[in-house]
Amino acid sequence: MIKFDPVTIATLAVLLAMVMLGASMFRSFFENPQVVYSEAPLQKNREFQLLPGETYRYSYLMNNTTANMTFIILEGEGCTRIEVAEARNSSDVCVDRWGLDKSGSNVSLGNPYILLFKPWMLALREGWTWNNSMFLSFDGASEYVTDNYYRVVRMENYSGRTSYIVEIKSGTGAVEYDWVDDEKRVLLRVQGEGYEVVLADD
């Protein structure tokens, strides 16, 4: 799906274009580009809720194509591991009690395919807002890409679960809506222009 949770397809296309252009014109400067974020302060009100033994399966719908992805929660050494069942050799991340992995980012976990949980979900409450700025970092330099704005639009009952509806707006104009379960702070649904991700029924 998408590598970075607040980034919609339009923003990702811009990033890829920048990397490709840089690789062809300034190869020595763009050898290992990375996306980094400057984050506003974030006050969390809930600890990480996913437990070893739990499994979450999602359906991804994009351009009339459907695919499934399954996330497995496992016990780690001083952390909780999340694996993608379809890519077990390269999917593992280890999350602490506040939802952070070794990247330390509240925007996204280090593995781009893990969409079921993002650290910012532990801060949700009615009226919540947050923002961050995205930069493309390469060879010690950083290039500004866009700002991303988050807000809880409302709460609603979604598939029998009390959930937050979070609007994520990119400075590029793209908008995404995430439904996040209040109790488990896990993704229930994502909807953006041309794509949708849905947690499958148990």
* Rounded-to-10 torsion of CA 62, 63, 64, 65: -50
Distance (Å, whole) CA 158 – CA 180 = 9
Kindly list the domain boundaries of the chain, sorted by start residue: 9-199
pLDDT category, 13, cuts 50, 70, 90? Answer: very low
pTM of the model: 0.81
pLDDT category, 32, cuts 50, 70, 90? Answer: low
pLDDT category, 75, cuts 50, 70, 90? Answer: very high
Mean pLDDT computed over every residue of the chain: 85
Question: Which residue do the tokens 């399954």 mark?
Answer: 70
